[in-house]
Amino acid sequence: KAGVTQTPRYLIKTRGQQVTLSCSPISGHRSVSWYQQTPGQGLQFLFEYFSETQRNKGNFPGRFSGRQFSNSRSEMNVSTLELGDSALYLCASSFRETQYFGPGTRLLVL
Amino acid sequence: EDQVTQSPEALRLQEGESSSLNCSYTVSGLRGLFWYRQDPGKGPEFLFTLYSAGEEKEKERLKATLTKKESFLHITAPKPEDSATYLCAVQARAAAGNKLTFGGGTRVLVKP
C-alpha cells in the first residue's frame, strides 16, 4: 500500500503571502490530521478531519485552516504568513487510532 | 491539559551498549501511548502502540513498556542504523478523534 504523500515537499514564501499544502492519505483511511514541527516547540497538533468534517482543532490562530475532500484528500492553508510559520508541516492519516505520517512539507518564510 | 516529557534529550551510545529512553505522561484517561522514530528530514515512522499498564511490545532491538505514569523504550545492543529521534505521544480517551500530544523527543546517536 502506498504511504501518505504530501506536496509540495519544499516551499519558500515571503511574509504576508498565503500557502496551501496538500495531503493524500493511505487508501482506505478517512481521518487526516495536520501537525506543525519546529525545533523550539516540537510537534504540535493543528487539526483533524474525518469524513470532510473538522473533528478536533489545536491552539493555532485562525490564519491556519484546512479542509477535506470526499476522496479523503486534505489541504491546509496558512494566510498572511509570518516568519514564525517556518516549519515542517506533517500530515498523518489513520484508519483507527494509529496515525501514519507523510514525509512533510518544509516551509520557509522569508 | 495532556503533557508528555521525554528524557534524556540526547543519548550517545556505543554500538552494542544497551540503554533506555523514558516518557512520562499525564493525560485525562489514556486511550493509547505511541512510539515513533524520526530520521532527519523525514516524517515520524510508527513503532508501537501501548494501551494499558503492564503491556509490552517488541520489534527487533526495541522493546516498549508501559506503566500508569510512564513508558520506557529499551534499545538492546543498538546498531548505528538505530540512530534517530524517538518520539513518544499520548492519545486521550476524552479527546475527539485521534489527536496526539507529543513529547520533545530523544535524539539517539549510536557510534560504531
Inter-chain CB pairs, A–B, below 8 Å: 63
Q: Do A33 and B45 touch (CB under 8 A)?
A: no
Q: Measure in Å the smallest separation between the Cα of B9 and chain A Cα atoms.
A: 12
The tens digit of pLDDT for each residue in A22-41 reads 999 999 999 999 999 999 99
**Spans of chain B below 70 pLDDT:** none
Query: What pLDDT shows up at residue B94?
Result: 83
Task: Report the range of poorest mean pLDDT among A1-5, A14-18, B6-10, B30-34.
Answer: A1-5
Q: Is the separation of the CB atoms in A63 and B15 below 8 Å?
A: no
- Residue among A9, A3, A1 at smallest CA distance from A106: A9
Does the pLDDT of residue A1 top 90, yes or no? Answer: no
Backbone φ and ψ of A85, nearest 5°: -85, -5
Categorize the per-residue pLDDT at A79 as very low, low, confident or very high, splitting at 50, 70 and 90.
Answer: very high
Q: Do A42 and B102 touch (CB under 8 A)?
A: yes
Q: Is the separation of the CB atoms in B2 and B26 below 8 Å?
A: yes
Pairing of strands A105-109, A10-13: parallel
- Interchain CB contact of B87 with A (< 8 Å): yes
Query: What pLDDT shows up at residue B96?
Result: 79
- Residue among A39, A24, A40, A28 at smallest CA distance from A91: A24
